[in-house]
Amino acid sequence: MTNESQPLKLGIAGLGTVGSALVSQLIDQRDALAARCGRAIEVVAVCARSRRKNRGLDLRKTKWFSDPVALARESDTDVFVELIGGAGNPAKAAVEAALSSGKSVVTANKALLAKHGLALAALAERNKAALNFEAAVGGAIPIVKTLREGLAGNAIDRIYGILNGTCNYVLTRMEQEKMSFADSLKEAQRLGYAEADPSFDVEGHDTAQKLAILASLAFGTRVDQSAVYVEGISSITPADLSAADELGYRVKLLGVAVRTQKGIEQRVHPTMVRKDAAIAQVMGVTNAVTIDPAGINPLTLVGPGAGGMATASAVLSDIGDIARHGGAQTAPFGRPVAALAEVRKAPMQRHEGGYYIRLLARDKPGTAATIAKRLAQHDISMESIVQRHGKEASAQERSNGAVPVILITYATTEDAVRKALAAVGGDKVISGQPQVIRIEKN
Ligand code: HSE
């Protein structure tokens, strides 16, 4: 607990883009924050790798630490702000040290929460400290508070979102400029959106970490990244995006958590969404989350998902909560750790929904009939089937005598789709691997 008649004293570990933006906001908005929170907020200590780097901040009166764990234990601070990142040490050890000494923690660290969130929430509970992490998911979008507080009285049926700006940027450029995945990713890297090793973004792992956190808040389950099925966007081609467009869809990398009769399904994969859905309008690096609460229409929150100022805005809001309420007033994941339910990885064979399938088919009489027969044998009903000639096929595809065939199915199971496609493969009427993209109803 902090003494609410005194200024709230912060120790900030990590002075990169987010840490520097946070300190500059705390200085620029000092009076407004004090008025809103009922008390002043002061940065009394910081920890960063280099003290010499010019950050444009006057930190002459601030205590410097080179060890974040020592800063976390500093007795002259009320709140430890962790902006180091990474699931391991020193971030983990520093957060544990702060919570163990009864100090509240504000963190933007999705990797740490997705992996150790449960143990850290238990530690926070035992020590009656706050563990706030609004900035870990969706940047400036207040999605954690929306789920934990704003919708505390609603049962949630489903939550899905564009949680990785890099992937949405790559898909947007591919769709709008007919660029290849590789060229579009190079652009994202050139503009500084993607990481130097972008596989964490494009293979879906960043989205999976954020989804694991949101699923816990939405469904009262234990946060567990290993329960998330993950597939990235590297197999998506401009031809898929053009076909989606013509059929009335867009392709987005979504994180989806949904209540099913067999439990909570958590999955990250390229997803076809109807072009008129709110989430389909979200382009470039912007993030968005749609929540389907039982009994009321869906809500969609849209905003900047990354960047110094966007992330600092969420960190500030968490600090403001502690300033106003003086420490732990809400369980980090919305309910006590002991009340969070076990969650298992949902087997994707059981997934039910519509599918987009793109095949390279032999351009001979009877091919479409063979494909249709195999789908019918697996009880799959087709909403549409389109055979595309000429320029839509690549030169190599045309020289092989292959034409793209695009199918949209009505709701079926993933198991049926995989078995039907294996049978079509055995019929030797297609070449290469079929492209399969799940359709999300919205
Ligand atoms: N790499 C992330 C993105 C940054 O592209 O959205 C924010 O977590």
Rounded CA gap, 262 and 323, in Å? 42
**253 Cα to the center of ligand 1, angstroms:** 13
Q: Which range marks the domain in which residue 433 is found?
A: 349-439
CATH number of residue 392's parent domain: 3.30.70.260
Identify the pLDDT of residue 265. Answer: 96
Q: Are residues 382 and 314 in the same domain?
A: no
**161 Cα to the center of ligand 1, angstroms:** 13
Q: Are residues 224 and 192 in the same domain?
A: yes
Q: Are residues 95 and 212 in the same domain?
A: no
**103 Cα to the center of ligand 1, angstroms:** 28
The long-range contacts involving 234-237, CB below 8 angstroms and separated by at least 24 positions, are 234/181, 234/202, 234/203, 235/270, 235/435, 236/171, 236/174, 236/181, 236/270, 236/437, 237/180, 237/181, 237/435
Record the tokens describing residue 274, joined without a space. Answer: 């109807």
Q: Are residues 292 and 314 in the same domain?
A: no
Residue owning the nearest CA to atom 7 of ligand 1: 306
pTM higher than 0.85, yes or no?
Answer: yes
Q: Are residues 321 and 403 in the same domain?
A: no
Starting from the edge strand earliest in sequence, which strands make up the sheet with 41-47, in order? 63-65, 41-47, 8-13, 79-82, 104-107, 131-132
SS3 196: coil
Q: How many domains does the chain have?
A: 3
Domain assignment of residue 259, yes or no: yes
Domain assignment of residue 342, yes or no: no
**137 Cα to the center of ligand 1, angstroms:** 9
Instruction: Give the residue from 210, 220, 295 showing the smallest Cα distance to 263.
Output: 220
Residues lining ligand 1, judged by CB closer than 6 Å? 164-166, 201, 206, 305-306
Rounded CA gap, 257 and 37, in Å? 34
Instruction: Give the residue from 346, 335, 351 showing the smallest Cα distance to 219.
Output: 335
Q: What is the pLDDT of residues 157-188, one digit of tens each?
A: 999 999 999 999 999 999 999 999 999 999 99
171, 162 in Cβ contact below 8 A?
Answer: no
Identify the pLDDT of residue 192. Answer: 85
Rounded CA gap, 159 and 354, in Å? 18
Q: Are residues 159 and 282 in the same domain?
A: yes
Q: What is the pLDDT of residues 81-125, one digit of tens each?
A: 999 999 999 999 999 999 999 999 999 999 999 999 999 999 999
Residue owning the nearest CA to atom 4 of ligand 1: 306
* φ/ψ (deg, to 5) at 224: -160, 100
Give the active site residue among 103, 145, 210, 252: 210
Atom of ligand 1 nearest to the CA of 200: 1
Atom of ligand 1 nearest to the CA of 169: 5
Q: Which residues pair with 266 in a beta bridge?
A: 257
Identify the pLDDT of residue 267. Answer: 98
Q: Are residues 98 and 109 in the same domain?
A: yes
210 among known catalytic residues: yes
Q: Are residues 159 and 289 in the same domain?
A: yes
Rounded to a whole number of angstroms, the CA Rg of the chain reads: 24
**194 Cα to the center of ligand 1, angstroms:** 8
Task: Give the E-state strand segments of 59-132 in sequence order.
Answer: 63-65, 79-82, 104-107, 131-132
Domain assignment of residue 197, yes or no: yes
To test ligand 1's pocket by mutation, which of 17, 110, 134, 164 has the most ligand atoms within 8 angstroms of CB?
164
Identify the pLDDT of residue 54. Answer: 87
CATH number of residue 88's parent domain: 3.40.50.720
Residue owning the nearest CA to atom 8 of ligand 1: 306
Sign of CA dihedral 96, 97, 103, 104: negative
Q: Are residues 169 and 297 in the same domain?
A: yes
Q: Are residues 354 and 238 in the same domain?
A: no
Domain assignment of residue 343, yes or no: no
